[in-house]
Amino acid sequence: MPIHVVDEPLAAVAKAIQLARPEDTILVTGSLYLVGDARAHWFPPLQLLAEIEGMGA
């Protein structure tokens, strides 16, 4: 398996998505800050807030 090093978290997520096949799983590990940055790629914070506000929370 080839190894790729990418310094920027969001660029690393983009690289992982580019290399992944549809059936692959992408796992992000590290600090909560790193995982939060990566999570924002799939779940933008403003979108999450809008959904929560729409639920009457």
Identify whether 47 is part of a domain.
yes
Cα 41 → chain centroid: 4
Q: How many domains does the chain have?
A: 1
- Enumerate residues 6+ apart whose C-beta is below 8 A from 46: none
Tokens in use for 6? 């990418």
Domain residue limits at 23: 9-54
Percent pLDDT > 90 in the chain is 26
pTM of the shown model: 0.62
Tokens in use for 15? 């690289």
Tokens in use for 38? 């990566």
3-24 average pLDDT score: 91
Identify whether 37 is part of a domain.
yes
Any alpha helices (H) in 1-57, and if so which ranges?
A: 9-19, 32-42, 45-54
* Residue pair 26/13 in contact by the 8 Å Cβ criterion: yes
Question: Confidence band (pLDDT; 50, 70, 90) for 21?
Answer: very high
Identify whether 21 is part of a domain.
yes
